[in-house]
Chain A
């Protein structure tokens, strides 16, 4: 339950940060319509409650938030909750696929590298993953576009699906998958490197433990020792890392969505910044914080399932 005060800090902090912004949504709106007379401005401010003091507005905001109401976006002329819910699935697909790719492939390659520490495989993967980890995801995305979309023409350059293609069912699913290959790779490859390195380091550590020595002394097959004893124990820190990286990955998808013009959550954040839409930006930050909390909750559950030593009574904070 310690996540409730943390979330409250996020909400209040974000609220006051965006209070510092010069001008409000009405100012931004006036620019788009080319100015207006003071009476109209006053009426607009009153109708949005912007003439109240910051503390009053914070209280109003918190009470409406308790009713799962994130407020109104002046820029889009729509409720913020609807906007976010509309964009969220695209980001979830992107993040989920990238996470699945990086976790499975990263831990698999990490097992191969860590099965024989110091081998050629090991050296190759260690240096390769470090190099990959140094690549900015948005640049990797552009390079992938240049190679696979512009030069080879194998995959589409941008978007989440072909616009107005009229595709349904399986054809549409294939279309969306084709659009997601490049962004998922751009976002996932960096985390693949991270998981590979962690898995490898964890396995190198586990090899020295007594129970592995005992397993070897018993004469167990090497494959069995690698998979059952070493890899299984090295996998646990990876699960923890999954939760720790959730926030960074959500941030990474903001940039990737911009590169590939995917109408997701991150693009919405950028549009909120461009439109000086403070309530929308607050809503996005709060929802992303909630998402990260949920992912961490799932990670804790997964951890308890994977490690029998973690009981429900002594769950990690």
Chain B
């Protein structure tokens, strides 16, 4: 609880929580606020924002409600961002732990694979992956995770390399614990905290890549996403620039919220680390 109160008291943490509250609330209550399909036509086309109380943020080229799209888009953005970060962290810590514990040839091979993933631009890889397997939410999540797991893998490996020399791991070995049990019960739980500290940056990056992919037309066509809304607005950039600007603001608020939250959390945890 102390961490939470410290988080709220730090200016960055508070700013992050306030900023994140908007997209999180939108994602949770999307179906309550706008039960209709956000992709369905709701009214006249190209109503400018703040002119019609029925459509506070206006409508797009096909007469779809921009506010409904924005609220439902928060759901896709956050879901994909969180899921991709989770997958990336899981793959990364697993590969990093195995490489660090196994050592030798296995370590060498796994680290070469990590490097191979690092020299290919994540967006190009995601582009190729989605184009091969078809655009659906699980494929997009996996495609983003493929470009994001190398950071956690490297960090987990470095942590494991230092932890495996500790006394309690040696004792576990002496009492005859199975190597797999040592890996998952002794080493991995202790190697995880620094890796988890990376998670906010990965979530933010995943949200941005998801937006870029759907902007390029490689998102799930049956889901409203902010990137797809921006791309759609681009067709009428001269006459209705608000269509591209509004969903982008949603993206900036979400990503900035994650960054501020992470900075606040890091500060709060650092203070606790010093005091304890």
Mark interface residues in B118-134 (1 if CB within 8 Å of A CB, else 0): 11111111011101110
Task: Decide yes or no whether A17 CB sits under 8 A from chain B.
Answer: yes
Query: Is the CB–CB distance between B121 and A251 below 8 Å?
Result: yes
Query: Is the CB–CB distance between B259 and A142 below 8 Å?
Result: no
Query: Is the CB–CB distance between A14 and B251 below 8 Å?
Result: no
Query: Is the CB–CB distance between B256 and A288 below 8 Å?
Result: no
Query: Is the CB–CB distance between A270 and B256 below 8 Å?
Result: no
Task: Decide yes or no whether B218 CB sits under 8 A from chain A.
Answer: yes
Q: Which residues of A contact B177 (CB under 8 A)?
A: none
Nearest Cβ in chain A — how far from B260, in angstroms? 7
Task: Decide yes or no whether A230 CB sits under 8 A from chain B.
Answer: no
Mark interface residues in B171-215 (1 if CB within 8 Å of A CB, else 0): 000000000000000000000000000000000100010011001
Q: Which residues of A contact B237 (CB under 8 A)?
A: 142, 145-146, 150
Q: Which residues of A contact B127 (CB under 8 A)?
A: 254, 269-270, 273, 281
Query: Is the CB–CB distance between A138 and B215 below 8 Å?
Result: yes
Task: Decide yes or no whether B270 CB sits under 8 A from chain A.
Answer: no
Give the residue of B116, B204, B208 whose beta carbon is less than 8 angstroms from that of A6: B116
Q: Which residues of B contact A285 (CB under 8 A)?
A: 120, 124-125, 128
Query: Is the CB–CB distance between B230 and A21 below 8 Å?
Result: no
Measured in the bound complex, the distance between the Cα atoms of B212 and A276 in whole Å is 20
Chain B interface size, under 10 / 10 to 19 / 20 to 34 / 35 or more: 35 or more
Q: Which residues of B contact A134 (CB under 8 A)?
A: 204, 252, 255-256, 259
Query: Is the CB–CB distance between A130 and B216 below 8 Å?
Result: no
Measured in the bound complex, the distance between the Cα atoms of B166 and A193 in whole Å is 39
Query: Is the CB–CB distance between B251 and A269 below 8 Å?
Result: no
Task: Decide yes or no whether A135 CB sits under 8 A from chain B.
Answer: yes
Q: Which residues of A contact B244 (CB under 8 A)?
A: 139, 142, 146
Q: Which residues of A contact B255 (CB under 8 A)?
A: 134-136
Task: Decide yes or no whether A252 CB sits under 8 A from chain B.
Answer: yes
Mark interface residues in A252-287 (1 if CB within 8 Å of B CB, else 0): 101100100000000001100100100001001100
Measured in the bound complex, the distance between the Cα atoms of B119 and A288 in whole Å is 8
Residue in chain B with minimal CB distance to A282 = B128
Mark interface residues in A1-24 (1 if CB within 8 Å of B CB, else 0): 010011101100110011011000
Number of interface residues of A (CB under 8 A): 45
Query: Is the CB–CB distance between B230 and A150 below 8 Å?
Result: no
Query: Is the CB–CB distance between A247 and B118 below 8 Å?
Result: yes
Task: Decide yes or no whether A186 CB sits under 8 A from chain B.
Answer: no
Chain B residues close to A by CB (< 8 Å): 112-113, 115-116, 118-125, 127-129, 131-133, 204, 208, 211-212, 215-216, 218, 230, 234, 237-238, 241, 244-245, 248, 251-252, 255-256, 259-260, 263
Known: A142-B248, A289-B120. 19 other contacts (CB 8 A): A5-B112, A6-B116, A10-B116, A14-B120, A21-B132, A130-B260, A134-B256, A135-B252, A136-B211, A138-B212, A142-B237, A247-B119, A248-B122, A250-B121, A254-B127, A258-B215, A273-B127, A292-B119, A296-B119
Q: List 26 A-B contacts (CB under 8 A).
A: A7-B119, A9-B113, A9-B116, A21-B132, A130-B263, A131-B256, A134-B255, A134-B256, A136-B208, A136-B251, A138-B211, A138-B212, A138-B230, A139-B211, A142-B245, A248-B122, A251-B124, A269-B124, A269-B127, A270-B216, A273-B127, A273-B218, A281-B128, A281-B131, A289-B116, A289-B119
